[in-house]
Structure 1
């Protein structure tokens, strides 16, 4: 629709306006925070993509996990001798 709407002259004008708005002293901090934000965004997108790649539970031929029953121990009698039968 716009074709080549933003050429080099347009980008230079946009950069000059940003320089006037934020000042030369704040530009490195602004660039650093934008880079960190982009890195976090990429990491989150990669995590979402890897979550989509892993199959959900029940989708494959995976056997269900079997719970181990706890061992039943008899309480010790107070006298230390077995009860009479």
Structure 2
């Protein structure tokens, strides 16, 4: 009978084999999302700017 650790390793290998075709697409999408988030954060910081009270 398999132990928990062996079963987990087999499951990880099966998922990696089945998901291998989608990994480049997922990585590209994550990079694109990170760039958009960075640009939006920069824009938000520039819009608020230093607060000048009179």
Pick the TM interval, shorter chain: 0.5 to 0.7
For structure 1, which runs of at least 5 residues remain unmatched after alignment?
1-12, 61-85
Higher relative contact order, chain-length normalized (CA < 8 Å, sep 6+): 1
* RMSD (CA atoms): 2.9
Which segments of 5 or more consecutive residues in structure 2 lack a partner in the other structure?
Answer: 1-8
1:22-80: CA deviations, max 9, x gaps?
Answer: 60010000000000000000000000000011668xx56xxxxxxxxxxxxxxxxxxxx
Question: TM-score normalised to the size of structure 1?
Answer: 0.40
TM-score under structure 2 length normalisation: 0.60
User: Which residue of structure 1 lines up, in the alignment, with residue 32 of structure 2?
Assistant: 36
Match in the other structure for 1:20? 15
Between Structure 1 and Structure 2, which shows a larger proportion of helix residues?
Answer: 2
Paired residues, number: 43
Q: Which of structure 1's runs of 4+ aligned residues deviate more than 4 A?
A: none
The alpha-carbon deviation at position 20 of structure 1 amounts to 1.1
Q: Trace 1:3-82 onto structure 2 (pairs within 5 A).
A: 17=12, 20=15, 23-53=19-49
Larger Rg: 1
